[in-house]
């Protein structure tokens, strides 16, 4: 059989696919003409790097597919796959895509098999390539020769829920806190986020002050670790809620524009979560300072590392495969009228309602580490780093209790993530 005949057979049974993913997802079309170029394997498995949840709305997504399906028909039906055309499975978290192309209409002979393989392979490859291109679900269209994406114009979208069913409104009501919190924290931590795209579009105009303050606090490593933990909690909650949810164009537009509204300077139902989260962060920040005995003590930051690099190979601390090093950067100020000796104190890690106490610091013979029995004169400050070795199996909130502490006052330090 001639090559032209095989291409014709492949083209005859190719179809147009519309794919919707949410967040920084995409909407793209794979046309019949695209199968005429090259031939690849029948099925492919591709691992890609992003594991974010609220940028793609859940662990599992469904695709809307059909033969030249009209645009007006898209928003009226739940997004679901037709097994007679293309079955595609995306699992976010393990980030695996398995796609296969098949049809019940075609019973190819041995001679037509190669032509149909080209159809299936081309569609599979195009699907996987398009999934790696950032886009926007209901506003970005990937056309031939065009890579530019654009965001929704939310001034033209009704997103107060009046156009949604009672079931859809209940879903948003139960998930709005997790959705907003996840987007705020992704933006604050500099991760891929819809809110970051909207912020870039608003560049030069006013943006929500509480969201920007959270982003500023993320520069402090101890607080950033807490934010990363809270982000994981919010996204995991979203995964559970989203498992069986069916998304439509209207609900997707509602979601994106509610995320857009987080950036508004006026208080609304979507950015109040930024205000409440910021309040909690400030409480932790305030708990990093206090009067302890004769000293005014401040935790400047808490960091976690696998080793301690002092800049000197003789005083550096090498990695331990079973542990990490938690460094408390602290400042002591003697508020008494005579010289006083500060003590290093203990570190506490809370897990499962149990406190694990670490009394011993690492001995590091380098400037800027430890106390080494140095008395401070009145009103003099000492800035130092105290290094504690903590086991990999522990995770949880970390508090530091400075020495000479009759009131047992603990200062907040950070959140220790799982190793």
Query: Considering the chain, what is the average pLDDT of its residues?
Result: 74
Domain 287-416 has CATH 2.60.40.1240: yes
Read off the pLDDT of residues 49-97 as tens digits, 9 standing for 90 and up.
Answer: 334 444 444 333 333 333 344 444 434 444 443 333 333 333 333 333 3
Cα(141)–Cα(29) distance, rounded to whole angstroms? 8
pLDDT value at residue 373: 83
Q: Say yes or no to pLDDT of 292 above 60.
A: yes
- Kindly state the tokens that stand for 109: 């002979």
Are the C-beta atoms of residues 359 and 388 closer than 8 Å to each other?
A: no
Mean pLDDT along residues 218-236: 97
Are the C-beta atoms of residues 214 and 274 closer than 8 Å to each other?
A: yes
Report which of 193, 257, 13, 227 is spatially closest to residue 118, judged by C-alpha positions.
13
Cα(325)–Cα(145) distance, rounded to whole angstroms? 51
Read off the pLDDT of residues 311-348 as tens digits, 9 standing for 90 and up.
Answer: 888 888 999 999 999 999 999 999 999 999 999 999 99
Cα(115)–Cα(14) distance, rounded to whole angstroms? 11
Geometric angle at alpha carbon 32, from 28 and 35, rounded to 5°: 95
Read off the pLDDT of residues 245-279 as tens digits, 9 standing for 90 and up.
Answer: 888 999 999 999 999 999 999 999 999 999 999 99
- Confidence category of residue 242, pLDDT binned at 50, 70, 90: confident
Q: How many CB atoms neighbour CB 117 within 10 A?
A: 18
- Confidence category of residue 376, pLDDT binned at 50, 70, 90: very high
Complete edge-to-edge strand list for the sheet that includes strand 354-358: 354-358, 346-351, 396-401, 411-416
Give the per-residue SS3 of the chain: CCHHHHHHHHHHCCCCEEEECCCCCCEEEECHHHHHCCCCCCCEEEECCCCCCCCCCCCECCCCECCCCCHHHHHHCCCCCCCCCEEEEEECCCCEEEEEECCCCCCCCCCCHHHHHHHHHHHHHHHHHHHCCCCCCCCCCECCCCCCCCCCCHHHCCCCCCCCCHHHHHHHHHHHHHHHHHHHHHHHCCCCCHHHHHHHHCCCCCCCHHHHHHHHHCCCHHHHHHHHHHHHHHHHHHHHHHCCCCCCHHHHHHHHHHHHHHCCCCCCCCCHHHHHHHHHHHHHHHCCEEEECCEEEEEEEEEEECCECCCCCCCCECCCCCEEEEEEEEEEEECCCCCECCCCCEEEEEECCEEEEECCCCCCCCCCECCCCCCECCCCEEEEEEEEEEECCCCEEEEEECCCCCCCCCEEEEEECCC
List Cβ neighbours of 265 (8 Å cut-off, separation of 6 or more): 206, 207, 208, 209
Domain boundaries, the chain: 3-131, 154-283, 287-416
pTM of the entire predicted model? 0.67
Cα(72)–Cα(81) distance, rounded to whole angstroms? 18
Read off the pLDDT of residues 108-161 as tens digits, 9 standing for 90 and up.
Answer: 444 445 454 554 454 444 444 444 333 333 334 434 444 445 788 998 899 999
Q: Say yes or no to pLDDT of 383 above 90.
A: yes
Read off the pLDDT of residues 159-176 as tens digits, 9 standing for 90 and up.
Answer: 999 999 999 999 999 999
Residues paired with residue 292 on neighbouring β-strands, in sequence order = 295
């Amino acid at each position: 059989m001639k090559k032209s005949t095989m291409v014709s057979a492949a083209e005859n049974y190719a179809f147009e696919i519309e794919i919707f993913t949410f967040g920084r997802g995409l909407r793209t079309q794979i046309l019949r003409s695209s199968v005429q170029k090259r031939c690849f394997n029948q099925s492919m498995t591709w691992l890609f790097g992003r594991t974010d949840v609220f940028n793609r709305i859940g662990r599992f997504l469904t695709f809307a597919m059909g033969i030249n399906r009209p645009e007006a028909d898209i928003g009226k039906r739940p997004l679901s796959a037709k097994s007679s055309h293309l079955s595609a499975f995306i699992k976010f978290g393990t980030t695996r895509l398995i796609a296969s192309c098949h049809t019940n209409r075609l019973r190819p002979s041995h001679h037509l098999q190669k032509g149909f393989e080209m159809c299936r392979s081309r569609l599979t490859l195009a699907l996987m390539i398009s999934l790696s291109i950032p886009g926007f679900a209901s506003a970005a269209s990937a056309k031939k020769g065009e890579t530019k994406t654009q965001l929704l114009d939310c001034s033209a979208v009704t997103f107060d829920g009046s156009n949604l069913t009672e079931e859809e409104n209940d879903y948003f009501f139960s998930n709005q806190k997790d959705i907003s919190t996840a987007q705020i924290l992704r933006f604050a931590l500099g991760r891929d986020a819809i809110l970051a795209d909207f912020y870039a579009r608003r560049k030069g105009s006013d943006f929500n002050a509480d969201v920007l303050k959270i982003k500023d606090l993320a520069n402090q490593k101890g607080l950033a670790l807490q934010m990363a933990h809270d982000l994981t909690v919010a996204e995991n909650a979203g995964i559970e809620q989203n498992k069986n949810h069916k998304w439509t164009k209207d609900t997707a537009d509602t979601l994106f524009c509610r995320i857009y509204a987080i950036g508004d300077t006026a208080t609304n139902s979507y950015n109040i979560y930024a205000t409440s989260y910021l309040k909690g962060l400030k409480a932790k920040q305030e708990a990093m300072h206090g009067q302890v005995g004769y000293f005014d003590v401040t935790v400047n930051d808490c960091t976690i590392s696998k080793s301690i690099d002092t800049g000197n190979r003789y005083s550096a601390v090498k990695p331990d495969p079973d542990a990490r090093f938690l460094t408390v950067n602290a400042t002591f100020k003697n508020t008494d009228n005579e010289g006083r000796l500060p003590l290093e104190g203990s570190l506490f890690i809370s897990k499962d309602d149990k406190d694990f106490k670490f009394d011993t610091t690492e001995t590091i013979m380098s400037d800027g580490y430890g106390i080494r029995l140095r008395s401070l004169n009145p009103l003099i400050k000492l800035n130092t780093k105290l290094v504690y070795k903590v086991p990999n199996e522990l995770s949880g909130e970390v508090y530091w209790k400075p020495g000479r502490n009759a009131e047992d006052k603990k200062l907040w330090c950070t959140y220790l993530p799982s190793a």
